[in-house]
Amino acid sequence: MAYNVAVVGATGAVGKTFLDILSERKFPIDNLKLLASSKSAGKKMQYNGKEYTVEELTHDSFKNIDIALFSAGASRSKEFAPSAVKAGAVVVDNSSAFRMDNDVPLVVPEVNPEDALKNNGIIANPNCTTIIMLVPLKPLHDYAKIKRVVVSSYQSASGAGAAATMELMEQTKAWSTGEPIEVKAFAHQLLFNVIPHIDVFTENGYTKEEMKMYNETRKMLHSDEIKVSATCVRVPVLTAHSESVLIETEKKLTPEKARELLSNASGVKLYDNPDEKQYPMPLLASGQDLCYVGRIREDIAYDNGLSFFVSGDQLRKGAATNAVQIAELLIK
């Protein structure tokens, strides 16, 4: 059986990655519809060697669509996803619009695949930083029950979109040619810098990006007890987010046991041989769907503490691949 699929936000960084992933994973597509704002309507895009014209997203775009993959920002999701559901489609939404709604499952297939089927027409894709952390956390949680997570992220420019990626490249070019460095996409110059500010600040001093890690982790692990403290930082890397993660567990979890669990975990590539300079890095994880995990060690600041480092491609596993995997769960 093949399905009619719409990609909403097709011309964006994640939208383009959706097409790569659908093609790579040979998702059974009968008709493909590429949708975007009126500004991008009329653009031509390729899928599996065939040319498609991007159409303007309207409330009538979803007739006969079975699955709609949305990545066009929260306000467009809020406005148009209900129309897609009304037309009979199941929406897999990559924005933050519905993630914390009680009747919308938030799903990482390696973590809580069963939740995907309990949908009312919309399934939310978590924030990329949460996905990349949760893929390795799940098997550790199942074994040792996580009580606390302290995480610092190293997030690449492309997490902020195609224009932000361009800005880092243009800053690099401007610096090398002695031109003035322009700053538009980020709060500060990203080149030769790190910026501890992703999304807007909330009343408790954490940013929204940091609170997503707190809320989404608890929702997907079905636990109101896990405490998560995140510091999210933008770094001058083009693709793939990395995270330094410290967990405190109820049951003792040795580095050896963690390595054993992670070497069998789906979605994880255990890459942990510091003597051979083998540890996760964004350049390694870019262009791949596995989350690289390494630097696993017993934490010396906490009893029952374990630290590790993870890198994952946030456009792929952190967004498009995860969404397509959710769609695969639906058609299974």
> Which residues are known catalytic residues?
128, 241
Write out the two tokens for 102: 């009680």
Phi, psi of 14 (to 5 degrees): -75, -40
Write out the two tokens for 110: 């390696």
- Residue 137 or 160 with smaller CB distance to ligand 2RA: 160
Q: Does 236 bind ligand 2RA (CB under 6 A)?
A: no
- Residue 155 or 304 with smaller CB distance to ligand 2RA: 155
CA 314 to chain centre: 5
Which 129-148 positions form the footprint of ligand 2RA (CB under 6 A)?
129
Q: Does 155 bind ligand 2RA (CB under 6 A)?
A: yes
Q: What's the sign of the alpha-carbon dihedral 46, 48, 49, 50?
A: negative
Of the candidate residues 7, 198, 237, 296, the single one contacting ligand 2RA (CB under 6 A): 198
Q: Are 121 and 85 in contact (CB under 8 A)?
A: yes
Compute how many residues bind ligand 2RA; rule: CB under 6 A.
Answer: 8
- Residue 129 or 321 with smaller CB distance to ligand 2RA: 129
Residue nearest to ligand 2RA (CB): 159
- Residue 29 or 162 with smaller CB distance to ligand 2RA: 162
3-state secondary structure of 320: helix
Phi, psi of 137 (to 5 degrees): -70, -35
Of the candidate residues 127, 239, 286, 307, the single one contacting ligand 2RA (CB under 6 A): 127
- Residue 131 or 262 with smaller CB distance to ligand 2RA: 131
Write out the two tokens for 202: 């909330």
- Residue 105 or 312 with smaller CB distance to ligand 2RA: 312
Compute the least distance from the CB of residue 119 to ligand 2RA, in Å.
21
**Which region among 83-91, 122-130, 175-183, 279-287 touches ligand 2RA (by CB under 6 A)?**
122-130
Q: Does 322 bind ligand 2RA (CB under 6 A)?
A: no
Phi, psi of 163 (to 5 degrees): -70, -35
199-214: b (≥16 Cβ within 10 Å) or e: beeeeeebbebbbbbb
Q: Are 253 and 306 in contact (CB under 8 A)?
A: yes
Alpha helices in the chain (DSSP H): 13-24, 74-86, 128-144, 162-177, 208-220, 255-263, 282-285, 321-331
3-state secondary structure of 26: coil
- Residue 128 or 326 with smaller CB distance to ligand 2RA: 128
Of the candidate residues 12, 73, 126, 159, the single one contacting ligand 2RA (CB under 6 A): 159
Which 204-233 positions form the footprint of ligand 2RA (CB under 6 A)?
209
Of the candidate residues 19, 84, 160, 285, the single one contacting ligand 2RA (CB under 6 A): 160
Write out the two tokens for 88: 């009979």
291-330: b (≥16 Cβ within 10 Å) or e: bbbbbbeebeebebbbbbbbbbbbbbbbbbbbbbbbbebe
Burial level of 182, CB count in 10 A (0-12/13-18/19+)? exposed
**Which region among 126-134, 183-191, 299-307, 321-329 touches ligand 2RA (by CB under 6 A)?**
126-134
Give contact residues for ligand 2RA (rule: CB under 6 A). 127-129, 155, 159-160, 198, 209
